[in-house]
Chain A
């Protein structure tokens, strides 16, 4: 076992132990952070490893959220089925958007994904009769059960969030260490040269988007089922920008960066809300400061200076 794999297993073991040691308030927070970090890890696959700046990931998160939520509300499908549906919805949406959006690159790609996500968000509002738009709806508690365990129970919820985050993080690690991950990094560094070397750039990017969409869909479905609320806010542009912020903070193209970034930004806003309500100001200055002074994020900078073996 290499030290990289060992480090990630140690982090997961630490998170598992935290379940028994954390005070109640932070225990609840950490469950939420792990689900959001799974979303950030999904974003990291496309933005970090493949170098595609998407501003549309809210639609993949939202696809998972609504797949699970609507299946429970109207189809009577309980939690495990909802999670599977969420993964499928996220991957499918990402594949369809990818086939179209990947005809463009750079700034155009960002605008196209933004436009598709905006259309998806408006569609949620348009079908307000079923989705109840901005107001959203609460998922019935008998739909939030896995193997007879209630997901609303803090301990069960923590383990479920841990399972989803663990699966996504180990998936990211597998991608980062695979030849597929290296092709993605090559595309990020120099797309033309990668194509010249004989790699199918379009296929690799589409795969990256689909994997990222599946992970984001899993995070969205888990968010809906664990916290029991589905609303249009989670499909709005804000939820495309937040994973970008988290990944930039922790370090793009590092496996643990998304979790670290989500954890730090969550607590930065949590702590600051005791003396100011100006959350947007903090997010704004954090984005500007990071891109100016730490464009590689915390773990990216650490990798550059101290631990070059960090995946």
Chain B
């Protein structure tokens, strides 16, 4: 290090020569760390790549139309995923209206109607904490309340209600964000035309926030459909040969079926599990892309 020579007359605290020297060094450090940071980021992407390619490698051979149409079987070559696939689709169809009505209703209340106060902030803190409760605890709630107390048994409706309650906090928060993003000027325009509060909310605010709301709901549903633990708690059947016939019939779902195959030691069943994962991932990625598309298509409209 070239320290500045002590010159009592012209005292300079910053020596340009030293700075110039150190700059190149600092830039080297900067560039090296930049690469390290990039590697950190790429790690996640690489893992995702390995994961997906590994699953495809293991499972592609087992994918066929029969696989989608058959019931699970002890003989791997005959095993299929039909009841689980239908179970997951039924769950989805049940969950969507539940979380749409409850989630958007709650979000509208909190953003448009609630007065700032103890009750409102209590509800909001409660929602954010609920979002952090592990899914298996929701499973315990479902098992106790829906399966036993309400007497639904291990049925589709018990599973759907459990997953809906679990998804609700996420839906509320994302809907609140979408509603908050609607400019105040829209509400004023409507109110100034003599529209009532509810008319303004229902005819202006809700339609304007709908893309954001729907994006949030799709993401929440795709989360819910991939959940295993709560369904295990609710008692979704491990082995079931038929698609559910109504909301009160027993059911299984894709993650449960995948878990069942994964936990068997034979390699063939691992392949079936991988094939099941492919089906699940295709559904989830489609939903995610749809959500991202909606978000980009309708963003920045005001």
A binds B: no
Give A residues with C-beta under 8 Å from B.
none
